[in-house]
Homo-oligomer: A and B are copies of this chain.
């Protein structure tokens, strides 16, 4: 058991382990360098980048709900240019993979972003498609099948070498449909889920608890929903699925791997415990040792019985 193999592949990216950070919860990585050895991570997904800097929403931007939190940060970010100048150099010093999450309000925004990033030598991008398409009356790209297919195809055409991950919106009736669209349109992988639109009300002031009224729900509360969607998606597509939603510890991560995720992302868990990612890597290792499994790939999709791991001692 000394050579435990935790490595997984996402498109052309070879990750040393399946534990990644979720966009928007890990800043540009430097924020966590006081707490953990960033080089141990499978990959880092940075805060979503748009073409121009975005200032974000007025406060209050977050509040807590049962086993979860709402956020309406408003996609605040430094913009592409500043990212390349101010944030990228630090990321490049790290001995781990990083993935740039991007967002836009039109297909051309996404195309420009992915092209520039590919030209800057970035290995992988994650498309946040839960953003409104301003040209189409603000309908989210991620909830409209035709718009999503077109978006991904165009990005694929303009950036052919980059590893392209499409991050699915949970706000649809039919996850397999959208997973398939992502695959067919040229994504190398899909990640899910993004936050679920939600509301909390202050019964003393009669005001929503967020200035933006609604926000995205994340944290343990959404884990069972995310797991179901990951399971549905993984049954449908051949490209790797990255599981996200309420992962707080190694047991949660293993649930996602068993449900078919090739890798996972930790979001809200980082706020509660800034060392969560490292604890999860360690915890997955102990689990595999305890189960006498020497390759993480042997547990992926385990609930469907299509894995080769020796699971007989249960």
Contact = CB atoms under 8 A, between A and B. Distances in A.
Interface residues of A, number: 47
Interface in A33-75: 65-68, 70
Contact of A224 (B200, B204, B231, B303): B200
Contacts of A287: 203
A174 B207 CA distance: 23
Given A66-B67, A66-B223, A197-B225, A203 B255 contact: yes
Contacts of A157: none
Nearest to A220: B66
Interface string A193-224: 00011111101111110000010010111111
Contacts of A246: 66
A270 interface: no
A314 interface: yes
> Could you say which of A143, A219, A227, A287 has the most chain B C-beta atoms within 10 Å of its C-beta?
A227
B227 A198 contact: yes
Contact of A311 (B174, B206, B314): B206
Contacts of A65: 220, 223-224
Interface string A129-152: 000000000001001000000000
A302 B206 CA distance: 6
Contact of A200 (B67, B200, B203, B255): B255
Given A198-B228, A203-B287, A214-B231, 12 more contacts: A65-B223, A65-B224, A66-B223, A67-B221, A173-B173, A198-B225, A199-B259, A200-B224, A200-B227, A200-B255, A201-B255, A214-B228
